[in-house]
Structure 1
Amino acid sequence: MAGDWSILRLTVSSLAPPTSSVVSPSPNTSQYPSLSDWKAPSFTRAAQFRVGATLVLFLFAACSNLALLISVWWGRGRRLASHLRPLMLSLASADLMMTFVVMPLDMVWNVTVQWHGGLALCKLLCFLKLFAMHASSFILVVISLDRQHAILHPLDALSAHRRNSHMLLLAWSLSLLFAFPQLFIFHTIRVEAANFTQCVTHGSFSRRWQETLYNMFHFTSLYVVPLLVMSCCYSRILLHIHQQHLRDKAGESYLRRSGTDIIPKARIKTLKMTVVIVLSFVVCWTPYYLLGIWYWFHPDMLRVTPEYVHHALFVFGNLNTCCDPVIYGFYTPSFRADLTAFCRRTTSDTSPRSLDRLSARQGPASGESEPATNNQMGD
C-alpha cells in the first residue's frame, strides 16, 4: 500500500520512512506547515527497538522457512499428498518474500530515515512489499478452500491437484495485479533546504479521500475478504463435523464404516494445522490493521498514542512469518525428522571420521525414497 501510518504521514511536511505494508494518507501540502517549520525525523529509541526486534525475527524466519521449503521440495516432505505440496511450497515462498523483502526494507529504512535507493528502487521495493503481503493472505485463502473441499467432498480428491493449481495461479496473479499501482503512485521527493530525500506517494492523489479509498481497498483485499472467506470455510467444516458427530450419536455410525462419510485422522490433523496457521495470521495482524484504520480516519491519533505502540504492533504482525514453519513442524513429523537429520549430519561432519562416514552414508538425499509412515499428513 502507500506507506506506513505507524511512523508519520508521508508528505513534504513530514517525510518519515513508510516501512510497512499499511497505508498512510497523503493530503495536500497546503494543509501542513511550511518547510521553514519542518524538522527532519530521526532514528528514535522506539525505532531502534523496532529494528532490533525485526532483525531477530528476520534471522528466525529466514532459517525456518528455508528449512520448510527444502523439506517439502527435497526432503521427507515430498511424501505429502500431491495437491498439498504446492500449497505448502507456496506458503513458504510467500513467507520468504515477506522475510527477504519487507523485513530488510523496514530495518534499513528505519536506520537511514530518508530514502537513498533512487527512484527505480523506490517503486520496485514498494511494489514487492505489497505483492508479498497479498500473496501471503491469498495463499491462506487457497489453503482454507482446499481444506473445505477435502472435508465436505472427500470423494472428489482426484481433481484436487488441478483445482489447487488453478487457485494458486489466481492467487499469485491477483497479488501482482493489486500491487501493480505501487509502481505509479510512489516516487522520490527531495527537500533541498534540509538535504532530505524520501520515497512517498505525495502528489499522486489530488484529494485525500482518493488515497483513503485506495488504502481501504487494500485493507479489504489484504485482511477483510481473506478473513471472511477463511471464516466461512472453517465454519462450514465445523458444522459438517458436528453433523457427523450427531449422526454417530443417533446410531448412524454404520455410514462412517461404509467409507462414504469418514474423515481420516490424517485429514483431521492437516485441518488442525491449517486452522492454527489461519488463527496466527488473524492474531498477529488484527491489532496493527485496527490501529491503521484509526489513523486513516483520525490522523491526529499519532499525537495521543505512544510511538512504541506503533512499532511494537508492526513487529508483532511480522511474527506471523515465523509462526507458519513452527506450526507446520509441530504437526508434521517429516519436517522434524529432516531437521534432526540435518543437525546430526552437521554435528558428525565436524568429527575427524566424518569424511569416511560420508562416503558410506545412504539415505533419501542420495536418491533413495523413504517408506511412508502412518504419521505423515494426508489430504
Structure 2
Amino acid sequence: MSGNSSHPLPTQGSLQYVSNSSLLPPLAEGEAPTFTRAAQFRVAATLVLFLFAAFSNLALLISVSKGRGRRLASHLRPLIISLATADLMMTFVVMPLDMVWNITVQWYAGDIMCKLLCFLKLFAMQSSAFILVVISLDRHHAILHPLDSLSAHCRNKKMLALAWSLSLLLASPQLFIFRAIKAERVDFTQCVTHGSFQERWQETFYNMFHFVTLYVIPLLVMSLCYTRILIEINRQVHKNKAGEACLRRSGTDMIPKARMKTLKMTIIIVVSFVVCWTPYYLLGIWYWFQPEMLKVTPEYVHHILFVFGNLNTCCDPVIYGLYTPSFRADLAGCWCCRQQNASPRSLDHLSARQVPHSGEQESDAPSVKGPEG
C-alpha cells in the first residue's frame, strides 16, 4: 500500500489492507526504492483509467439523479447511485493516491494523512464490494419473491445503510495501525504498519480477515444469490413445459423482460468485479504466506494486475450503459449540447453573410437551437 516500487505488491495497490512492513528490510540495508520503468507504466495506465472512470461514473451519477435515469424503478435508483458513488471514491481516492505515491516513492504527507488516506482506500474498496452484495440480494428477492416488490425500496435503503456502515467500521483500524515512519540509515519516510503488530502471524491474520470480508464473503453471497436465481428460472421453465402456472406479466414471458434485463446487467457487473480483482487477490495471498515470492516474481506482474483490477471501476458504467437506453440518451444529449454550444459563433457568422440573399437561413436558426431547448 505504500509507494515502494521495488516491492509493489505489499506497498501499492488496491489490496487496501496489505501491510507495508516489508518495506523496512531494503531500507535497513541502505537501499531506498526508486521510480522504476514498470512503475512509470503503472502510473500512465492508471491515469488513463482515472480519466475514463471519472467521466463515465460522474455521467452515470448525473443521469440517474437528474437525467432520464430518474425513470428507473424507485428501489433500483439508490442501488445504482450507491454503486456509482463507490466507484467514484475508488476513482478520486485510490487512483490519484496510487499515482502520486508511485511518483514520489516515499511518503511526504505526514502522519495524519497517512492514517486518513489508508482508511479511505480500504473504505472505498469495502463499500464497492458490499454494494454489489446488496444489488445481488435485491435481484435475488425480485426473482424469488416477485409479489413483494412494494417493500423493495425500504428494504434496499436499510441494506445500503448497513453496507456503508460496515465499510466504515471495517476500515477504521487503518487509522490506528498505519503511521509515517522515517528509516534509520536512509533519508526516507514511508507510510507503513511497522510496529503495529508484535508477531508476523498477527499481521497475516489482519490481512486475511480483510481479505475474507472484502472478497470471500461477498463472493460467496453473490454466488449463492445468482445460483438460487438460476435454479428458480430453471424451475419455472420446467413448470411451463409441464403446463403448470408460472410467474408472468405477459402471455409469453415467465419473468418480466425488464426484470430479466436488469438481472443480466447485474450478473455481468458482478462477473467483471470477480474477473478484474481475483488475480491480484490471489497474488496477495501468495505474498502473505510466502513473502519470498517478491524475489522471483517480475515487478511488472504486480503492476499489471493492479491496473487490471482498477479496470473494474470503468466497467460498471459501461455495462450499465449497454443495458440502459436512458443513460445512452443522456450521453448523446450531452454531446449534442456541446456541439451546439461550440457552434453559435460560426452560425452567426454564416447567417450574417447569407440572410440578405434569402430568408431560408432564418428559418434554419430556430431548428438548430430547438433540441437544446
Shift, 1:8, TM fit = 2.2
Shift, 1:25, TM fit = 4.3
What letter is aligned with 2:7? Answer: L
Distance 1:140 1:23, change over 3 A: same
Shift, 1:308, TM fit = 0.6
Greater gyration radius: 2
1:183 counterpart (172, 175, 178): 175
Tell me the distance in 2 between the aligned counterparts of 1:229 and 1:285: 17
Partner of 2:300: 308
Q: Could you tell me whether the CA contact under 8 Å between 1:123 and 1:183 is conserved in 2?
A: yes
What letter is aligned with 2:324? Answer: T
Q: Could you tell me whether the CA contact under 8 Å between 1:7 and 1:18 is conserved in 2?
A: no
Q: Which aligned pairs between 1:12-31 and structure 2 lie closer than 5 A?
A: 17-25=11-19
Shift, 1:24, TM fit = 3.6
What letter is aligned with 2:157? Answer: S
Q: Could you tell me whether the CA contact under 8 Å between 1:6 and 1:292 is conserved in 2?
A: no
Q: Which aligned pairs between 1:215-254 and structure 2 lie closer than 5 A?
A: 215-252=207-244
Distance 1:38 1:95, change over 3 A: same
Partner of 2:131: 139
Shift, 1:248, TM fit = 1.0
Tell me the distance in 1 between the aligned counterparts of 2:107 and 2:26: 22
Shift, 1:289, TM fit = 0.2
Matched, 1:299 2:285: no
Partner of 1:370: none
Q: Could you tell me whether the CA contact under 8 Å between 1:17 and 1:109 is conserved in 2?
A: no
1:335 counterpart (304, 327, 343): 327
Q: Could you tell me whether the CA contact under 8 Å between 1:284 and 1:318 is conserved in 2?
A: yes
Partner of 1:205: 197
1:163 counterpart (152, 155, 158): 155
1:54 counterpart (35, 46, 49): 46
Distance 1:251 1:98, change over 3 A: same
Q: Could you tell me whether the CA contact under 8 Å between 2:46 and 2:95 is conserved in 1?
A: yes
Question: Mean Cα displacement is larger for which, 20-29 or 134-143?
Answer: 20-29
3-state DSSP class of the match of 2:106? coil
Partner of 2:66: 74
What letter is aligned with 1:91? Answer: L
Distance 1:347 1:252, change over 3 A: same
Distance 1:90 1:28, change over 3 A: closer
Matched, 1:271 2:263: yes
What letter is aligned with 2:84? Answer: A
Q: Could you tell me whether the CA contact under 8 Å between 1:46 and 1:308 is conserved in 2?
A: yes
More helix by share: 2
Question: What is the CA deviation profile of residues 183-233 of structure 1, one whole-angstrom value per residue up to 9, with x for unaligned ones?
Answer: 000001112532111000000011110010000000001100000000000
Shift, 1:351, TM fit = 1.3
3-state DSSP class of the match of 2:180? strand
Distance 1:98 1:34, change over 3 A: closer
Q: Could you tell me whether the CA contact under 8 Å between 1:115 and 1:199 is conserved in 2?
A: yes
Tell me the distance in 2 between the aligned counterparts of 1:66 and 1:270: 21
Q: Normalised by the size of structure 2, how large is the TM-score?
A: 0.89
3-state DSSP class of the match of 2:185? helix
Shift, 1:249, TM fit = 1.1
Tell me the distance in 2 between the aligned counterparts of 1:7 and 1:33: 9
Distance 1:258 1:39, change over 3 A: closer
3-state DSSP class of the match of 1:116? coil
Tell me the distance in 1 between the aligned counterparts of 2:96 and 2:167: 20
- Root-mean-square deviation over aligned CA pairs: 2.6
Partner of 1:369: none
Shift, 1:262, TM fit = 4.0
Q: Could you tell me whether the CA contact under 8 Å between 1:287 and 1:313 is conserved in 2?
A: yes
3-state DSSP class of the match of 1:194? coil
Identical positions, percent: 69
Tell me the distance in 1 between the aligned counterparts of 2:276 and 2:189: 32
Q: How many residues align?
A: 355
Tell me the distance in 2 between the aligned counterparts of 1:28 and 1:349: 54
